[in-house]
Each structure stands twice: as structure tokens, then as C-alpha cells.
Amino acid sequence: MFFRFKRTIYPLFVPAGLIIFSALVIWKWPDLMQKVNGVKEVKAVLVILPVLPYVVFFIGIIMGWRYDNTGMMLASLTLAVSYLALSRFMLGNLPEEVIGPSILETVTFLLPLNLAIFTMLTKRRIFTSTGVLCVFLILLQISAVILFCFPAHPTCSQLLSKMDSVSPDAATKLTGFLTGLRSFLHDRSFIKYDNVSTLSVLAYAFALFFVLIRFLLRRDAIMAGFLGVIVATFLGVTAGGPEPAYMIYFSAAGLILIVTSIEASFSMAYVDELTGLPGRRSLNQTLINLGKKYSIAMIDIDHFKKFNDRYGHKTGDQVLKMVASKLRGMSGGAKIFRYGGEEFTAIFPGKSVEDAIPHLQEYRESMESSPFVVRSKIRRKSTSKNRGKSKLSGVKRAKVTVSIGVAELDKNHTNPEKVLKAADRRLYKAKKAGRNRVKS
């Protein structure tokens, strides 16, 4: 339970921290400006400060390209386009000829919906049918915004004039549609925000709920990052007022994408995806930093290959998850790693073999007394109402046991690599002796 809670909360630290820091900067901004009012160097930096979000977004686009993360790349691109539009029209600085929906209302409606869609592209490359389609949809949205928000712009005006000459009725209907669309997007009858319409707030609420569900299912840094981006951009567009409110919040949104992407890459390198345990690379790093007293145990699932062949690889994966789950609860302050395949490693810092054996025995007995339920194919295909009514829809209980070898740092095993090899040899002896036992 604690591990699940940790997996849920930990990825949210970076997004929450950056959002809180941004809010503090905005809150203290007038005081900061007074303190640096006479400093020419700081004033020079403040002049180029509005460019900072574009730098952040550009880095996000490059990282998304490099990591084959289309979701991150398109999200950074969309944030850049949205920031460009909002920086020009945030304070209602709209041209008089606008008769359709405003830039502010249109962007704040489309932005969260796009961000929600991009969460489904985080593991896809850009040059796939889905990636190319999403790029096309972004370009289509930009074209539609230009047409609908600036129908009196010279280019759009020429297009409408040609349409009017070809079909006056269609041109009249388009103008009426734009007027109605503006009224629809401008509605603030339910939720009172100066810069955001009710429809935009509902779009943000939907996007937040959608991404939250995906985060709870995956519990990874990338989904946590998208949650933070949605919250940060919402705070940015609802803050109103002069700079730097939306500038800082949008910069924070871009930084959240970058930092959580780096964190996700680190997790992929150091954490085993199937079991959620630290992997081989993390083990190697831990071995380098051990002190002068420790013991290492190698743990192997008995008859795992036969179990895998009999019940299938998916069931075998469930066994690995079960073993890993119980390993997390091992007492004695053990640090647990997935070594590879069906093998795991437990390191007991500051403990001898004699100290570690009771904790290993406790774990071995816990595994022996916890039968693993194997659901039959018939059960998986049956409905919930029919389950349990037929003998064919029952379940099988399989016994999962482990063999363990443990060794410590001593005069014969003078470094972590030798201790690890000694533990592996003793694991082999445990298997030769009949399995389901601890050998030291």
C-alpha cells in the first residue's frame, strides 16, 4: 500500500513544485521590480524575459524529437503557438474587425483538449500515420482560428469576397455562424472568469479529468507532467493582468514537460518496467557505494521456466509481479533489485549473513504459504454472472517458492562483485539441495 501511495505522489512533486514556485514569483513580482529598479543589468534581462518561454518550448520540441516522444514535441509546439497568440491578445487587444470568436476564447478552449490528446502519443514517433495526422490537425486548427477569428483580415476578406461572389447565401451563413460561435465561446453565465469562458473552463475540466485517469492507471512522470501543464496553463490564462503572470506560468508548463521527460528517461534506465523494482543499472550503482559491512542475497523463483511454459508468459509476468511485491515488504532494511529474468537481489547494508538469514527465511516462508491463483482461459472468457457456476470456470492454485543464496563481505570475498558471485554460487547449492531453502 505504501509503495502504491509513493508511486502516486512522488511523480507529482516536480509539477507541483514548479507551479508553487511560479505562484510565489508572481506574488512577489512587484517587490522584486522595486528592488531591481535601479539595476541596469537586471533591466536588460527583463527586456528579453518574454522570449524565455519560446526558449523553453524549443528545448521541449528538440527533446521530444530526440526521445521519440511525439506527445511532448506536439505539446511544446502547441504551447508555443498558444503563448504567441495569448501574448498578443491576452488583455483584449483585439483588432476592431474581429466579428468571430476572439483569439483568447478560442485558444483557451482548444489548448486543453489538444494537451489531453497528446498524452496518448508519448511513446509514438512523429513520422507515423498517427503523428503526421496530429501535425495536420494542428495546422488545420491554426488555419481555422485565423479564418474564424480574423474574417476581416485582408487575406480572409478576399476569401470571403470570392465566396460571396460564388455563393452569397453561403457567405451570409458563414458570417452568421461566426457571430454565433463568438457568442457561444464568449458565454460566462455559469463560471465567472474575466479571460476564460464557461466552455473553456469545461474543456480544462475534461482534460484534467482525462489525464488524471491516465495518470492513476500508469503512475508515471510523463502523465504527472501533463497534469502539471494543464494546471499551469489554466492558471496562466485565468490570471489576467499584465505580464509576467501568463509568461511565468507558460514557462513553468514548458519546464514541467522537460523535467518530467528527463525523469521518465531516468526511470526507464534505472527501474524495471514490469515489477517496478530498481533494475540492474541501479544495482551496479548501489554496489559501488556500499560500506564495509553488508550481505547480499540472490533470490530465484523455483521452476519458473516450467511454470512459464505451462501457463503462458502473461501468467509468468504475474508471478514476477507477485514475487516483487512481497520482496518490497521484506524486513531488515533490505534494498531490493531485479537482477534479470526470474532472479532478484537483496542487499542488507550493515548486516552480516547471520543477521540477514531470519529476514530471508521469513520471506521464503511467506512465499511458500501464499498460493498463486491461475485463472483459466475459460474463466477469462466467461461473464461475471456465470463465473463460479461451472466447474470449468474455476481457478487453479499454484505453489510459488523461491531459493535463496546469501553471502557477506569477508576476507574471502573482498568486494561487492565477489560477494555477489558467492551468493549466486550458494543459490545454485540451494537449488541442488532441493529448492525452497536458504543457503549461506
Three-class secondary structure of residue 194 per DSSP: coil
Three-class secondary structure of residue 347 per DSSP: strand
Cα–Cα dist 386/391, whole Å = 11
Please check whether residue 165 is in contact with residue 155, taking contact to mean a CB–CB distance below 8 angstroms. Answer: no
Residue type, 102: S
Terminal-residue alpha carbon distance, the chain = 32
Quote the Cα angle for 3-9-15, to 5°.
150
Cα–Cα dist 287/298, whole Å = 14
Work out whether the CA dihedral 194, 16, 227, 208 comes out positive or negative.
negative
SS (H, E, C) 375-405: ECHHHHHCCCCCCCCCHHHCEEEECCCEEEE
Q: Cα-flanking dihedrals φ and ψ of residue 376, to 5°?
A: -75, 160
**Whether 97 is catalytic:** no
Please check whether residue 125 is in contact with residue 68, taking contact to mean a CB–CB distance below 8 angstroms. Answer: yes
Side-chain-side CA neighbours of 282 within 13 Å: the count stands at 21
Please check whether residue 195 is in contact with residue 249, taking contact to mean a CB–CB distance below 8 angstroms. Answer: no
User: Residue 342: which residues within 8 A CB-CB, separation 6 or more?
Assistant: 300, 301, 304, 320, 323
Quote the Cα angle for 263-265-268, to 5°.
110
Torsion, Cα of 349, 426, 312, 218 (10° steps):
10
Cα–Cα dist 424/407, whole Å = 9
Task: Choose, from 263, 342, 362, 408, the residue flagged as catalytic.
Answer: 342
Cα–Cα dist 381/358, whole Å = 43
Cα–Cα dist 291/50, whole Å = 50
- DSSP-assigned letter for residue 278: B
Q: Where does residue 402 fall: left (phi above 0), alpha (psi -120 to 50 degrees), or beta otherwise?
A: beta
Residue type, 363: Y
Question: Which residues participate in catalysis according to the annotation?
Answer: 342
